[in-house]
Amino acid sequence: MLIHLIKKLEQRDRLTEAEREAIARLPVREELRLTGVDLVRLGDEPTHSSLLVEGFAYRYRDSAEGHRQVLALHVPGDFVDLQSFLLKEMDHSVGTYTACRFAMVPHADLRRVTEEHPHLTRMLWLSTLIDAAIHREWLLCMGRLQAAARLAHLLCEMHTRLKVVDLTDGLSFELPLTQAQLSDILGLSPVHVNRCVQTLRAEGLVVWDGTTITIKDWAALAWRGEFDLTYLHLENRPR
Amino acid sequence: MLIHLIKKLEQRDRLTEAEREAIARLPVREELRLTGVDLVRLGDEPTHSSLLVEGFAYRYRDSAEGHRQVLALHVPGDFVDLQSFLLKEMDHSVGTYTACRFAMVPHADLRRVTEEHPHLTRMLWLSTLIDAAIHREWLLCMGRLQAAARLAHLLCEMHTRLKVVDLTDGLSFELPLTQAQLSDILGLSPVHVNRCVQTLRAEGLVVWDGTTITIKDWAALAWRGEFDLTYLHLENRPR
DNA sequence: CGAGGTCTTGAAGACGATCAACAAACGTGG
DNA sequence: CCACGTTTGTTGATCGTCTTCAAGACCTCG
């Protein structure tokens, strides 16, 4: 079940046989969640970190007025909750957009990895650094991009990240989100998301059919959303 | 010079004598920057990571239309650029709001720390996780808080973080930023920042005299900005 | 078939941006 | 020490983006 993790890490740097084995030997427990059921909540102190194996999950906080803000979107292979290993107390919640399968890794075993496998530790650290890089990119989008550009950026990011885990079909991919859920991600109202979708459609950049999205003009969409994939740090190199 | 780092880490967990020594033995090079001079730039591949010893620094990206978005604010003791140790390529730039003194730590030596000091490695990892937690908090603010609330939140955060490094005087602190610079942080226009400052003043929450800020009613300001310090993870506990 | 969720459209209004002008503070050089 | 230019803070007016409210169309599923 941790094959996804190995794959994801090996994309950024080579792992030794010993490291792959160390991962494979982690005593994971499988955890299933139906659509819309939270995995962990703000304030929790989890004893395990959760790796998303299948489905779409997200991290969020709700504002005082009850508006939800999504802080991160997660696709299969993402170590959704690795930071709780060291932060201890959750400063946000984790929810699911579809039925999800998680591999739960005990913190005690992660700790053992850090004691015995320095390079593997750096690779796990790296994966949390990439999460942070995505946070920063979203901050730029939230602060300085118009609504339609934010949406365009999100589509580029999701296509790129899904492609890495082989969940795209050319320029098409499944994004099982309603427009209301998109509005929680983009920090917009549902109505305005609808108008942005129509804008991108009208500009001929995407075809949006239910949950299936097809990018019609990648270069134009990336330009529209000021998307540059540097921040995803996809290069394979010694770390 | 790395005493600040030791202090900052020891706030979150105890360090052993060996760990403190390992830090003290790091061969740092001092680097000075005048106000407004960048330390590293988007696209760079630094060979050192920079710890801020003195002054105010920030990380930023500029949008295509030339608007700057600040992604993080840094106070003395912050390991501004630790992530470049593993990410390699900079996905943002680092600038200074005042004259700054940095301690530059070679990546090679950080790597040696990760090979020899697992717990210290976790502590360094932790400090990047806290950066990410602050990014997430800012995302919530940008997406779901009104302008004046965002400003209130920022003031609460800065007071809390400066207090930790002993740079507050009761409820007063120095924030050497112009309103234009604040607008880059909050994702607003300078004019609107001015109006928000006046709003908080009129509500009796803060006194703002040049670069000196005094919080008049902490509870009310925190309420106004939906500020809760959980996300700063200030507790001292085994990590 | 009916109920509920989702998408869509219109109209009104709020929030923040932009443009413009001026006052105050500051630093520099004469 | 003053004159001057520059930066910063402040205010007003106008405009655009996005929100909110409301209603109808469409779809799915029991």
* Predicted pLDDT of residue B64: 94
CA distance A159 to A212: 11
Residue of B nearest to A138 (CA): B139
Instruction: Report if CB B142 to strand D is under 7 Å.
Output: no
Across residues B83-91, what is the average pLDDT?
98
* Predicted pLDDT of residue B206: 97
Res B1 pLDDT > 90: no
Contact map slice: B 184-203 vs A, CB within 8 A: 186-187
Instruction: Name which of A2, A1, A54 is nearest A176 in CA terms.
Output: A54
- CB environment B94-131: b (16+ within 10 A), e (fewer): bbbbbebebbbbbbebbbebbeebbbbbbbbbbbbbbb
Res A206 pLDDT > 90: yes
Q: Which of B125, B128, B134, B236 to mutate to test the interface with A (most CBs of A within 10 A)?
A: B125
Res B201 pLDDT > 90: yes
Strand D: which nucleotides have any atom within 7 A of a protein Cβ? 7-13, 17-22
Across residues B146-161, what is the average pLDDT?
98
C-beta of residue B75 within 8 angstroms of C-beta of residue A228: no
Q: Quick one: which residue's CA is nearest to C10's C1'?
A: A191
- Phi/psi region, residue B139 (left: phi>0; alpha: psi -120 to 50; beta: rest), is alpha
B122 shares contact with chain A (CB less than 8 Å): yes
* Predicted pLDDT of residue B8: 92
Owner of token pair 């900079």: B90
* Predicted pLDDT of residue A4: 86
Percent of chain B at pLDDT exceeding 90 = 98
C-beta of residue B205 within 8 angstroms of C-beta of residue B217: yes
Closest-lying nucleotide for A186 based on CA to C1': D18
Across residues B69-92, what is the average pLDDT?
97
C-beta of residue B68 within 8 angstroms of C-beta of residue B76: no
Percent of chain A at pLDDT exceeding 90 = 98
CA distance A110 to B113: 18
Q: Which of A67, A131, A144, A230 to mutate to test the interface with B (most CBs of B within 10 A)?
A: A144
Contact map slice: B 80-119 vs A, CB within 8 A: 83, 86-89, 91-92, 111, 114-115, 118
The band of B25, judged by pLDDT with boundaries at 50, 70 and 90, is very high
Q: How far is CA A61 from CA A89, A147, B180, in A?
A: 14, 20, 29
Structure tokens at B199: 């709003």
The band of A102, judged by pLDDT with boundaries at 50, 70 and 90, is very high
Across residues A41-67, what is the average pLDDT?
96
Q: Quick one: which residue's CA is nearest to D18's C1'?
A: A192
The band of B4, judged by pLDDT with boundaries at 50, 70 and 90, is confident
Instruction: Report if CB B180 to strand D is under 7 Å.
Output: yes
pTM to 2 decimals? 0.97
Across residues A138-159, what is the average pLDDT?
98
B2 shares contact with chain A (CB less than 8 Å): no
Res B191 pLDDT > 90: yes
- Phi/psi region, residue A36 (left: phi>0; alpha: psi -120 to 50; beta: rest), is left
